[in-house]
A and B are shown apart, each in its own frame.
Chain A
Amino acid sequence: MITLQSVSKTYANGVPALNDVNLHIDKGEFVFIVGDSGSGKSTLIKLLLRELQPSSGQIIVNNYDLSKLSRRKVARFRRSIGVVFQDFRLLKDRNVYENVAFAQRVIEVPTRQIKKNVPAMLSLVGLAGKYKAKTRQLSGGEQQRVALARALVNNPPILLADEPTGNLDPRNSWEIMKLLEEINKRGTTVLVVTHNREIVNAMRKRVVTIKKGLVVSDEEKGEYIDED
């Protein structure tokens, strides 16, 4: 499902972010990518979303070879990936329903279908009763649920979550993680970038540890490894 072969990324200012990363993630897996600030986790997410191109190496995601993707095909590729960010990235001037429906409109789903899909997705994340609320009226946990609903409404086979609990309290963090686990059980491949030690250690999933741009550990049912 996701394959990185000898992937390195050095920014234009000469700063190295990833160095010879090799990684393979199968369909239906739940994987944590952990590491401290500046380890290269965010660069990895940007490479997987094709926001950035690697300096060398090959990235294949959902059968798309990202280095050979034309600008037009980038949009099509991104439709096969759901993405959730630490800062939610919701449209602040629109309500909950509109934020989720927005993802469907972008890929030109008929309105009749949107009216069925969005309430179903809001029910899944527990926000069916708040579909009219403006996103700025919601708590952090609720906003992240909206972001999750938006990421999943197009039924992507892969979900990338970049620090999804970074702005949440422990209770909301756990609720979001339970939702991600539930989504994974339904067949979606889930990749979570985080530095939340407690959650990583409690969930006993595959853990890939990145340190200074290098993959230093890759364990099934792994634990969070400290920097030192």
Chain B
Amino acid sequence: MFSLATIATIASCIFLFGIFYAIVVNVQYTVREAETSVAVTVFFDDGISDERIMEIGEEINKRPEVSEVVFVSADEAWNSFKEDYLGEYADGYEGDNPLEGSENYEIYMNDVSKQHSLVAYLETVDGIREINRSDATANILTNINNIISLVSIAIIAILFAVSLFLISTTVAMGISVRREEISIMKLIGATDFVVRSPFVIEGILIGIIGAAIPLVAVYFIYTQAVDYAMNQFNVLSDILKFLSVQEIFSKLIPIALILGVGLGFLGSIITVRRHLRV
């Protein structure tokens, strides 16, 4: 009875943690994906040499906040523009490139919050005529990241408090169940180690079972929820990004097991320790 209550307590805590973990890592993943599409575009002075453009590219590449620098030639820029906006109406421009001199670097960052410092640097680079950036997008993404961090801390704190409350309750229950057994063992002449061992082994087993149950539950809920979201919100498939269940569980399984075993171990140690002084 006590073991079932302990398993239920540990399973509830780890289940909540698992669901929360799956949500947070997916939101972070979506934001990270969005961040990778945010780029600063730089255009060059008229008449700049190809060598200087290459030098600028190499200098930018050395910046720590830069993850990738892509050179877009004037022809590529024009072809892309035609495809995106003109379609068949572009025929009248045949042989002409109205975007002559618009070759540029698209600079992708590993952290959009660093856009400001990157732009400040780019403004000092000789040969750059114009810098296009997306402050609004970068700010929104940075804010989302900050909110996720704060919400994560708050929810982890709440989960921790709830876990402690539930575990202290089950430990208190365990104490009344075990009191007589422990006192008998001590009066017969058992050492503390001998008294503690079966309880600790039991605690660890309870922790493993308490972790395995919510892992199975989270697995099914996650796969169902992702399928549902992908089908129902097909339109948002470019925005909504989900990690695969393997990616989630490669980290969730060890975390859940460590939590379960840790809680079971600590719970049993605390329960027994109070009664060893017989």
Contact = CB atoms under 8 A, between A and B. Distances in A.
Interface of A: 49, 51, 71-72, 75-79, 81, 83, 89, 91, 102-103, 106-108, 150, 154
B194 interface: yes
A106 B190 contact: yes
B185 to A, nearest CB: 6
B189 interface: yes
Nearest to B191: A75
A103 B188 contact: yes
Nearest to B194: A106
A76 B191 CA distance: 8
B217 to A, nearest CB: 30
Contact of A108 (B181, B186, B194): B194
Interface residues of B, number: 14
Contacts of B186: 75, 78
A75 B187 contact: no
Nearest to B278: A51
B189 A107 contact: yes
A78 B189 contact: yes
Interface string B172-185: 00000000110111
A78 B188 contact: yes
A206 B190 CA distance: 32
Contacts of B191: 72, 75
Contacts of B192: 71, 75
B190 A75 contact: yes
A79 B189 contact: yes
12 contacts: A71-B192, A75-B191, A77-B189, A78-B186, A78-B188, A83-B187, A89-B187, A91-B181, A106-B188, A106-B189, A106-B190, A154-B188
A150 B189 CA distance: 12
Contacts of B184: 89, 91
